[in-house]
A and B are shown apart, each in its own frame.
Chain A
Amino acid sequence: MGLFILRRLGVMLLTALCLTFIVFFLTNLYPNLEKLAKTQGNFRMTDEAVASWLDDRGYIDNTFVKYGRWLGVAPGWVTEKEDGTITGQCFKENAPVEERPTFCGVLQGDWGFSLVFKDEVSSLVAIRLGATGKLMGFVLLVMVPMSLIVGVLAGMREGSGLDRSLSTFSIATTATPEYVSGVIFIAIFASSAFGLKWFKGSATQAIENATFENFTLPVLTIALYGMGYIARMTRASMTEVMTAQYIRTARLKGVSFGNIVLKHALRNALIAPFTVIMLQIPWLLNGVVIVETLFNYKGFGWLLVQAAGNNDIELLLAVSVVSVVVVLITQLISDIGYVFLNPRIRIS
């Protein structure tokens, strides 16, 4: 087990390195850098001015060197201007010589500086991640119990009316992406066209003060899309368990149907959904980006869109590191959890 986890961690590290390098490479292509220089400097810069702006800030160097700098394994750039001022990646202009560290990258704990938000990347990501954590927490709180209940109810009597209605419901939710359900929800519950106005169509205030009125629609929108898949997996697992021999034995013993479902079937039927729920979390991240854009909730997904739309290189790298780590950790937890939950694997 220890070796397994160690190997998985190694693969995780390699994946994270490869992915950040790809993001780094794509964001550092010359047209992107040119756009960056023009938005940061001014839009009427000549080509030479762009080149020297980029050169002063170390953007022209080899991609591998730049990537090493971001990681903190290559020395940061230092430029001496004609008038003698010395600027560098790791220190402010004209800092004393003894306060000029050579390396400043992720390994040194320095995630860089966002050029769009004019702030430290690490604090930006931490704040926005907190906001999204709140959203995700509520989503999981709504989604997991509801989908398990729907799946178990549908799966305990295969082919019954309840099964058919719930299965249709879960297929319908998997066919409704967030931008569709979100639009429909806003139109029905928040617009003046139908006149209901139960909820708010914007969740901007929910960052500081989440209320039932402004947080219901975003949470429901994400939860609904993820729910259908988990419910269908739970249903499949439940129907499989309900045809097992020990359920038949329990039935022949005369155990009541409610007891069979709750005491005999449920625990075995919930092993498979656990994996599915863990693997669903990275998918929720997609939903989070869409919903945060639609409801204008300034969280992590909103940050991703801002960083990608403005080619804010260091912010984008931090965002992709976080999302890749989320994906890989949930995969790891689902693998380990599956082994622990399933006695057939655990004991052998």
Chain B
Amino acid sequence: MEALTWTGPLGQFLDPVLYVLSAIFLVAIVIQIVLGLASGGSRVVTNPDGTLSSAGGAYDFSSTATRWLGLGLFLIVLAYVVIGIFTGPQVAGIIGGMSQQLMPVWIALILTFIVSIRFKRKLGLYGKLFDSTVGMIGFALVMFWVYAGVMAGLFDWITTHDSLSQVSGMKNKVPGTPMRSTEDGEYAWYLLGGDNLARDVFSRLFKGAWVVVQIAPLATVFAFMVGITLGLPAGFYGGRLDTLLSFLANLILAFPVILLFYLLVTPEIVATGIPNYMATVLFVFPLIFVGVLLNSRYYTQPSFRTPLLIVVLGIMGWIYLSLISDGGTKVAVLPEFLDLFDIDPGILVVFVSVVFVNAPTVFRIVRGLAMDIKTRDYVAAAQTRGEGPWYIMLWEILPNARGPLIVDFCLRIGYTTILLGTLGFFGLGLQSESPDWGTTINAGRRLLSAYPHPAIAPALSLLTMVLGLNLLADGLREESLKD
């Protein structure tokens, strides 16, 4: 078995085209920028804000050329992927092999886009996302990692080898190295090479995506629950409550994040149970939030409200208790047979510290929005109607603050991903054999100058995922400002 090259035999035809086209593309962008600074066009156009600018001429030609060249480049890249899906690593090299392994992700992505674009007028803000190119690119990047993470983590589809098994002779091997001996049905190559413990980088990459996809959105949701539940009353009432809560938020924000992580996540601190107590406090906020939300809406109809609250809070309370109580730790309130699930203590600690770091920023944003919105007429109208303060906060102010909050939510998932990586980078929290990206980068950085590939693969993945989230937030912001 021969070692794979990046693009295989297919690359002999496509690679030169790609190189030439990218070179021309870069030159075209530079020319466009220079022309945009230097010269005007041949026609005069009136802008919507009343100013005049010139169009046509060399500048317009260069921007058209850039657009077509960009499209051409995109098609070439698409060709690598599509041909790869059908021919596999033998013809299309490492890229082909990867794209063949990722086939279910491509199918899911294409289905999502077809359905979303077909019904985009009925889907509200989500549908409007498909009017913006930047938003669509961001959404595609994010959904790629979400689907890849779910499929690799839950169904074991994408990965080629076990993420923990070590194969002799594969230590620090470069991408595309064939296995020494393959049994039946075993994948014959390490597509992205082997790491310093001779494990498959490609499989670990996608197992790691699952860790991120599990923790980052959920931690962000919890941070938002905490931030909203505290930020709304702080902004709405103001006064002493606001002073106190803002002081506490600024206190946490003044901590260097890494120092806080070191203080919370070391095994000695975990042994004292402090993270578990913090989890007990932080995880109760969703209960408070949902309880107040439903109560303020339906308290005029006690016959409907009481059973609703009992059912909803009962289920959430049970989940909450099984979440925080864990046999081996300090907080074990629930007897074993009622405990629905046990969270790995390492993941719980990471989760708690990430929520703890994120919540104060959310608090500040929500507080600012509440202070702004409480002066609006519809709030005064609700007050005149005799609505209670919590109704006004949760059913009048919060829905009207949703635009900036949704945008911040996307950005914050990205930031949480970065924080998770930081934790892994310092070897805190998760086990050292955990495949998550931060830990993998940490493991790979020691041999970086000799064997960069085990660290680069997760670094690029993290980069694309966070970039996708930022582009998605940008697209959402643009579209939500339009109306």
> A interface vs B, CB < 8 Å?
11, 14-15, 18-19, 23, 26-27, 29-32, 34-35, 157, 160-162, 165, 171-172, 174-177, 179-180, 183-184, 186-187, 190-194, 201, 243, 248, 251, 282, 285-286, 289-290, 293-294, 304-305, 308-309, 311, 316, 319-320, 323-324, 327-328
The answer for the CA separation of A308 and B268 in the assembled complex, in Å, is 12
- The answer for the CA separation of A181 and B460 in the assembled complex, in Å, is 9
In the bound complex, what is the Cα–Cα distance between A307 and B296 (angstroms)? 49
- Given contacts A160-B36, A162-B37, A176-B463, are A308 and B449 in contact (CB under 8 A)? no
* Interface SS, A side: helix
- Chain B, 6-58, CB within 8 A of any chain A CB: 29, 32-33, 36-37, 49-51
**Residue in chain A with minimal CB distance to B442:** A179
Given A175-B463, A190-B449, A191-B452, the answer on whether A286 and B258 have CB atoms closer than 8 Å is: yes
Cβ contacts under 8 Å, A324 to chain B? 254-255
Contact B36 A157 (CB under 8 A): yes
Q: Please tell me if the beta carbons of A26 and B426 are within 8 angstroms of each other in the complex.
A: no
A15-B251, A183-B456, A304-B258 as given contacts; A290 in contact with B422, CB under 8 Å:
yes
Q: Apart from A23-B259, A305-B426, A324-B254, what are 13 other A-B pairs with CB-CB below 8 Å? A: A19-B254, A30-B272, A32-B268, A34-B268, A177-B422, A179-B422, A179-B445, A183-B456, A243-B49, A293-B426, A305-B258, A308-B262, A319-B259
Query: Per-residue CB proximity of B449-470 to A under 8 Å, as 1/0?
Result: 1111101100110110011011
B351 to chain A, nearest CB (A): 19
A180 to B459, Cβ gap below 8 A?
yes
CA distance A75 to B321 in the complex (A): 45
Q: How far is the CA of A107 from the CA of B260 in the complex (A)?
A: 25
Q: How far is the CA of A175 from the CA of B413 in the complex (A)?
A: 11
Chain B residue with Cβ nearest A36? B268
- Give the contacts of B224-243 with A (CB-CB under 8 A): none
Find A31's partner among B264, B269, B450 (CB 8 Å cutoff): B269
> Do the beta carbons of B33 and A165 come within 8 Å of each other?
yes
Count of A-B residue pairs with CB < 8 Å? 158
- Taking CB atoms, residues of chain A closer than 8 Å to B445 are 179, 183, 186, 294
Q: Show 11 A/B contacts (Cβ-Cβ < 8 Å), sorted by A.
A: A29-B268, A30-B272, A31-B268, A34-B268, A175-B469, A180-B460, A191-B452, A193-B451, A193-B452, A304-B259, A308-B258
Residues on B with C-beta less than 8 A from A187 are: 448, 452, 455-456
Contact A175 B426 (CB under 8 A): no
B32 to A282, Cβ gap below 8 A? no
Which chain B residues border A289 with CB–CB below 8 Å?
A: 256, 258
Q: Is the CB of A308 within 8 A of B452?
A: no
Q: Is B295 interfacial (CB-CB < 8 Å)? A: no
| CA of A162 to CA of B470, assembled, Å | 20
Which of B253, B274, B463: most chain A CB closer than 10 A? B463
Number of interface residues of B (CB under 8 A): 57
Q: Are B456 and A29 in contact (CB under 8 A)?
A: no
Chain A residues near B256 (CB-CB < 8 A): 282, 285-286, 289, 304, 320, 323, 327
B325, CB-defined interface residue at 8 Å = no
B247: CB under 8 A from chain A?
A: yes
Choice from B63, B452, B469 contacting A161 with Cβ under 8 Å? B63
Complex: A305 Cα to B32 Cα, angstroms: 47
CB-CB under 8 A from A190, the residues of chain B are 448-449
In the complex, what's the smallest C-beta–C-beta distance from B132 to chain A, in angstroms?
13
Contact partners of B33 in chain A: CB under 8 A: 161-162, 165
Q: Judging by beta carbons under 8 Å apart, are B449 and A18 in contact? A: no
Q: Which residues of A contact B448 (CB under 8 A)?
A: 183, 186-187, 190-191, 201
Tell me if B471 and A177 are in contact (CB < 8 A): no
Which residue on B lies nearest to A18, using beta carbons? Answer: B251
Are A162 and B36 in contact, with the CB atoms below 8 A? yes
A23 touches B36 (CB 8 A): no
Give chain B residues whose Cβ lies under 8 Å from the Cβ of A27: 263
Q: A15–B250 contact, CB under 8 A?
A: yes
Question: Could you tell me if A161 and B66 are in contact, using CB atoms closer than 8 angstroms?
Answer: yes
Residue of B51, B253, B263, B266 with highest tally of chain A CB at under 10 A: B263
Instruction: Give Cα distance in the complex from A308 to B448, angstroms.
Output: 25
In this assembly, does B425 line the interface, its C-beta being within 8 Å of a C-beta of chain A?
A: yes
The reply to whether B259 and A179 form a contact with Cβ atoms under 8 Å apart is no
A residues near B460, Cβ cutoff 8 Å: 180, 184
B414 near A171 with CB under 8 A, answer: no
Residue in A closest to B453 when the chains form the complex, CB atoms: A193
Residue of B with least CB distance to A176: B463
Q: Is the CB of A177 within 8 A of B426?
A: no
Most chain B beta carbons < 10 A, residue from A11, A180, A184: A180
Please determine whether B471 and A183 come into contact, CB atoms closer than 8 angstroms.
Answer: no
Mask: chain B, 264-278; 1 = CB below 8 Å from A; 0 = not:
101011011010000
Chain B residues near A194 (CB, 8 Å)?
452
* Complex Cα spacing A175 to B410, Å: 12
A171 pairs with B247, CB closer than 8 A? no
Question: A162-B33, A171-B471, A308-B263 in contact; A29/B258 too (CB < 8 A)?
Answer: no
User: Which chain B residue has the least Cβ–Cβ distance from A14?
Assistant: B247
The residue in chain A whose Cβ has the minimal distance to the Cβ of B250 is A15
Complex CA–CA separation, A304 to B426 (angstroms)? 12
Chain A nearest CB: distance from B198 CB in Å? Answer: 18
Q: Is the CB of B37 within 8 A of A19?
A: no
Decide if B257 is an interface residue (CB 8 Å cutoff). Answer: yes
The answer to whether B257 and A286 touch across the interface, beta carbons within 8 angstroms, is yes
- On whether the beta carbons of B449 and A179 are closer than 8 Å, the reply is no
Q: Would A184 and B467 be within 8 Å (CB), given that A161-B32, A165-B29 are in contact?
A: no
Contacts of A15 in B (CB 8 A): 247, 250-251, 254
Shortest beta-carbon distance from B30 to chain A in Å: 10
- Residue numbers in B under 8 Å from A316 (CB-CB): 259
Report how far A285 CA is from B260 CA in the complex, Å: 13
A308 in contact with B463 (CB, 8 Å): no
Which residues on the B side are within 8 Å of A171 (C-beta)?
A: 467, 470-471, 474
- Cβ-neighbour of B272 out of A31, A161, A191, A251 (below 8 A): A31
Interface contact B247-A11, CB-CB below 8 Å? yes
Chain B's closest residue to A156 (CB) is B37
In contact, A323 and B259 (Cβ under 8 angstroms): yes
Q: Which chain A positions have C-beta within 8 A of B255?
A: 19, 320, 324
B441: Cβ under 8 A from any A Cβ: yes
**Quick one: which of B63, B425, B453 contacts A179, CB cutoff 8 A?**
B425
CA distance A196 to B148 in the complex (A): 33
Partner of B441, one of A11, A23, A180: A180
Known: A191-B449, A328-B254. A35 touches B268 (CB 8 A): yes
B438 interfacial by beta-carbon distance below 8 Å: yes
**With A161-B63, A162-B37, A289-B258 known to touch, is A183 a contact of B247 (CB < 8 Å)?**
no
Q: Which residues of B contact A30 (CB under 8 A)?
A: 272
Q: Which of A31, A176, A192, A304 meets B271, CB within 8 Å?
A: A31
Q: Is B219 an interface residue (CB 8 A)?
A: no
* B418: Cβ under 8 A from any A Cβ: yes
Closest B residue, CB atoms, query A157: B36
Q: Does B421 contact A (CB under 8 A)?
A: yes
Q: Which residues of A contact B63 (CB under 8 A)?
A: 161
